[in-house]
């Protein structure tokens, strides 16, 4: 029997087809596998075969061939992937040349990822500033992208979000390419050191840190203070990883005045410099610049810190060399482990690799869990019913404020686990693991990702994908007890990514977060005292709240909780979406003076764009009601940080009716020589009109 030519429907069998000896195959699975390998289809299960047909025939009316004997008698067989023709990934086009899709993505990553994926489908392509970004929110695609191997690999080129960190840590576990020989070595050693069993060694020191946090929180409670949550979360996370990584107490929670240890300030400075370099682009990076100098200075000091710690541990000489499996459960810190663990060939990690690994852990173990802890506190304040249920579940399990929490107890606290899962589903700190396509790949859905592309898995969008999650935006820890969620798609919940390059610290992170959440809830209730919306930091590579402020209240006595026993009130509310924002940007006023609504619409559009650009506090008001209309409020806004965009129309050379009194006031002030009234105000004016606009709005500007 003659071989069969397989080709993608819509392409030419003669040019793009592949020939296969079908009669040698037994099953459809084998055929799908072979065709997928030859045509670079990522998931063989997505391939369907169809009777050869004119390219013009719509895919939906092709005749399906689902038996091997039916396929054998054809000469040419057309293929569909996920029932669709193979085609390029869609996405926004046009925009300002070169800048392209920049504002499609920046600065509101989270909002824009979600918006683009809702608009264009499960994979979207955006290009800007010479970069090309692919995003996906589909669990099937996420599984393909995150599986290291034939199709994708973690390779950190200049367009990868981790590129700046790779400049500091080329061999770090987090930032090395998978092809770098340093990666399998450090991965092998550190996987074992970070296993669940090894982590149990650190429960006590983690709970000790949690205890210190409770003491400090009690002091803040007594002072009835409202405070920014994130710096406290950062201190707590830094104290915990610091102790576990190098085995010393950094004393960052010994008093409310304790400062952050130098090493963590160095890390923050280093990361900020790296982010700055990344944002400013390749041309900037090619020349000497202050960020690069800062990176070098901080990296040298970080290395000096690690060298000193190594020396101390070796000088103390408490630990012998031993097999790494044994070392994981008997050394006193990760650094102690790295210095003494030997592998099957009696090899140890070399000193340079240890340097990069320690710093990697000090970074990865702190920036992530600090954001997660801040979001946990945010969830406690936003969802008091669930917070109460969590408290009740801890009391029922026998936990108390004063008694140590054991690893065994932690592993049994189901609702605690669900609460954290739900926080991570909606507010996970990591949001964009990115891999590079190793060849042209036909993704599930039939979309082609070209070789060399960076594909970002939009973690939040995956975890709220409505095809996989019911009421995706509702904060509902109980969903984790349902059959539906237990049977979910393997890649629908991936806060720690997946595959060979997934998070190595998740046991650590979950143990730490569980202890800290339990300690918080056993002792406190949290009130959200943030003015306005909670904003997230667009300048940072992780999702973290910038301005979430909170006040503590003493937790009720467990006896009061018992009196309330009865059915738990099921109150499921939609989680608020933090907006993007930078504290550095001024308050944005979109002001309108309009007769027929055009300018009011313009002001609304300007406000929406401003939010997308990262202005945290944006208001839309009519000129009449704006602070510009009265002398007292004008003085106030001039003194503070404010920016006014005034959209005003004109009719017969006059301002619109609603702005006539404002215009009269301007004339009067100028006539009386009081023209400093608007000094110090940042503003611009958009005049809407026809060819005779000049007299009105130019007068406004003047």
Q: What angle do CA 307, 309, 310 make, to 5 degrees?
A: 65
In the bound state with ligand FMN, the residue whose beta carbon lies nearer, of 190 and 688, is 688
Who contacts 626 (Cβ-Cβ below 8 Å, separation ≥6)?
A: 589, 591, 644
3-state SS record for 23-72: HHCCCHHHHHHHHHHHHCECCHHHEEEEECCCCCCCHHHCCEECCHHHHH
- Backbone φ, ψ for residue 244 (5° rounding): -70, -40
Size of the site for ligand HEM (CB under 6 A): 26
Residue 698 binds ligand FMN (CB under 6 A): no
Among 33, 52, 595, 622, binds ligand FMN (CB under 6 A): 595
Residue 505 binds ligand HEM (CB under 6 A): yes
Q: Which residues pair with residue 323 across a beta bridge?
A: 342
Residue 263 binds ligand HEM (CB under 6 A): no
What is the distance between the alpha carbons of residues 36 and 634, in angstroms, rounded to a whole number? 68
Q: Record the tokens describing residue 123, joined without a space.
A: 């994979």
- Do strands 131-136 and 454-457 pair parallel, antiparallel, or not at all (unpaired)? parallel
| Least distance to ligand FMN, CB of residue 608, Å | 17
In the bound state with ligand FMN, the residue whose beta carbon lies nearer, of 535 and 590, is 590
Show contacts with ligand HEM in window 570-609 (CB under 6 A). none
3-state SS record for 587-637: EEEEEEECCCCHHHHHHHHHHHHHHHHCECCEEEEEHHHCHHHCHHHHHHH
E strands, 129-173, are: 131-136, 152-153
In the bound state with ligand HEM, the residue whose beta carbon lies nearer, of 477 and 505, is 505
Stretch that binds ligand FMN, among 92-100, 368-376, 424-432, 686-694 (CB under 6 A): 686-694
Among 337, 427, 496, 548, binds ligand HEM (CB under 6 A): 496
Among 223, 231, 597, 680, binds ligand FMN (CB under 6 A): 597
Beta carbons of 117 and 460 less than 8 angstroms apart: no
Cα-based distances in Å from 682 to 240, 615, 619, 635, 642: 45, 15, 15, 12, 7
Element of type H or E holding 263: helix 262-286
Stretch that binds ligand HEM, among 75-83, 283-291, 491-499, 623-631 (CB under 6 A): 491-499
Among 102, 120, 678, 693, binds ligand FMN (CB under 6 A): 693
Among 78, 198, 263, 504, binds ligand HEM (CB under 6 A): 504
In the bound state with ligand FMN, the residue whose beta carbon lies nearer, of 225 and 598, is 598
In the bound state with ligand FMN, the residue whose beta carbon lies nearer, of 258 and 595, is 595
Residue 603 binds ligand FMN (CB under 6 A): no
Residue 672: how many other CB atoms lie within 10 Å: 9
Beta carbons of 37 and 18 less than 8 angstroms apart: no
In the bound state with ligand HEM, the residue whose beta carbon lies nearer, of 154 and 340, is 154
Residue 124 binds ligand FMN (CB under 6 A): no
In the bound state with ligand HEM, the residue whose beta carbon lies nearer, of 216 and 514, is 514
Residue 98 binds ligand FMN (CB under 6 A): no
Name the residue whose CB lies closest to ligand HEM.
505
The string over 250-259, giving b where at least 16 C-beta atoms fall within 10 Å of a residue's C-beta and e elsewhere, is bebbeeeeee
| Least distance to ligand HEM, CB of residue 448, Å | 23
In the bound state with ligand HEM, the residue whose beta carbon lies nearer, of 5 and 245, is 245
Residue 503 assigned ligand-binding role: yes
> Is cis: bond before 680, omega within 30 of 0?
no
Interhelix angle 351-382/414-427, nearest 10 degrees: 100
Stretch that binds ligand FMN, among 312-320, 474-482, 650-658, 660-668 (CB under 6 A): 650-658
| Least distance to ligand FMN, CB of residue 696, Å | 7
Show contacts with ligand HEM in window 354-373 (CB under 6 A). 360-361, 364-365, 368-369, 372
118 half-sphere exposure, CB direction, 13 A CA radius: 11
Which residues belong to the annotated binding site? 503
What residue ranges bind ligand HEM (CB under 6 A)?
162, 173-174, 187, 241, 360-361, 364-365, 368-369, 372, 428-430, 433, 495-497, 501-505, 508-509
What residue ranges bind ligand FMN (CB under 6 A)?
594-599, 649-653, 656, 688-690, 692-693
């Amino acid at each position: 029997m003659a071989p069969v030519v397989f080709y993608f429907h819509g392409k030419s069998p003669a040019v793009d087809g592949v020939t296969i000896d079908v009669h040698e195959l037994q099953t459809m699975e084998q055929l799908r596998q072979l065709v997928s390998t030859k045509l670079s289809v990522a998931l063989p299960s997505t391939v369907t075969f169809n009777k050869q047909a004119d390219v013009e025939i719509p895919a939906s009316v092709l005749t399906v061939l689902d038996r091997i004997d039916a396929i054998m008698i054809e000469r040419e067989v057309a293929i569909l992937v996920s029932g669709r023709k193979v085609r390029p990934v869609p996405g926004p086009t046009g925009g300002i040349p070169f800048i392209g899709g920049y504002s499609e993505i920046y600065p509101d990553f989270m909002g824009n990822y979600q918006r683009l994926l809702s608009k264009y489908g499960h994979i979207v392509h955006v290009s800007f500033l010479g970069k090309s970004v692919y995003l996906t929110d589909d669990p099937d695609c996420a599984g393909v992208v995150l599986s290291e191997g034939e199709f994708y690999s973690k390779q950190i080129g200049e367009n990868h979000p981790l590129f700046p960190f790779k400049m500091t840590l080329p061999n770090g576990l987090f930032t090395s390419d998978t092809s770098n020989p340093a990666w399998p070595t450090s991965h092998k050693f550190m996987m074992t050191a970070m296993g669940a069993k090894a982590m149990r060694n650190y429960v006590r020191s983690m709970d000790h840190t949690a205890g210190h946090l409770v003491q400090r929180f009690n002091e803040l409670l007594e002072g009835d203070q409202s405070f920014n949550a994130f710096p406290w979360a950062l201190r707590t996370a830094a104290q915990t990883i610091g102790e576990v990584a190098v085995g010393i107490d950094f004393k960052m929670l010994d008093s409310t005045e304790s400062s952050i240890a130098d090493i963590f300030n160095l890390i923050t400075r280093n990361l900020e410099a790296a982010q700055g370099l990344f944002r400013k682009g390749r041309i900037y990076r090619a020349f000497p610049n202050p960020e690069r100098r800062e990176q070098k200075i901080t990296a040298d000091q970080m290395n000096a810190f690690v060298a000193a710690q190594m020396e101390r541990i070796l000088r103390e000489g408490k630990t012998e060399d031993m097999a790494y499996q044994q070392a994981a459960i008997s050394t006193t810190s990760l650094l102690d482990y790295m210095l003494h663990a030997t592998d099957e060939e009696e090899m140890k990690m070399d000193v340079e690799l240890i340097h990069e690994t320690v710093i990697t852990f000090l970074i990865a173990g702190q920036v992530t869990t600090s954001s997660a802890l801040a979001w946990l506190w945010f969830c406690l304040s936003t969802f008091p019913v669930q917070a109460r249920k969590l408290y009740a579940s801890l009391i029922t399990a026998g936990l108390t404020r004063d008694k140590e929490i054991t690893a065994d107890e932690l592993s049994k606290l189901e609702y605690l686990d669900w609460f954290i899962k739900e926080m991570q589903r909606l507010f996970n700190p990591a949001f964009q693991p990115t891999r590079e396509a190793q060849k042209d790949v036909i993704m599930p859905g039939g979309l082609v990702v070209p070789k060399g592309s960076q594909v970002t898995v939009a973690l939040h969008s995956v975890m709220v994908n409505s095809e996989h999650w019911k009421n995706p935006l509702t904060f509902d820890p109980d969903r984790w007890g349902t059959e539906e969620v237990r049977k979910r798609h393997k890649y629908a919940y991936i806060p720690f990514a997946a595959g060979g390059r997934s998070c190595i610290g998740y046991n650590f992170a979950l143990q730490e977060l569980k202890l800290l959440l339990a300690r918080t809830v056993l002792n406190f209730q949290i009130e959200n005292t943030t003015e306005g919306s909670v904003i997230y930091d667009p300048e940072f590579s992780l999702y973290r709240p910038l301005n979430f402020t909170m006040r503590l209240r003493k937790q009720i006595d467990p006896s009061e909780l018992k009196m309330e026993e009865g059915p738990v009130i099921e109150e499921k509310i939609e989680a608020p979406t933090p907006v993007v924002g930078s504290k550095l940007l001024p308050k944005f006023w979109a002001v309108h003076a309009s007769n027929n609504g055009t300018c009011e619409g313009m002001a609304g559009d300007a406000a929406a764009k401003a939010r997308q650009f990262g202005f945290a506090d944006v208001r839309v008001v009519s000129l009449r009601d704006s602070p510009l209309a009265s002398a007292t409020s004008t003085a106030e806004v001039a003194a503070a940080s404010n920016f006014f965009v005034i959209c005003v129309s004109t009719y017969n050379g006059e301002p619109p009716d609603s702005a006539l009194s404002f215009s009269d006031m301007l004339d009067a002030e100028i006539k009386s020589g009081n023209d400093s009234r608007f000094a110090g105000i940042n503003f611009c004016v958009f005049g809407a009109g026809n060819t005779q606009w000049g007299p009105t709005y130019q007068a406004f500007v003047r």
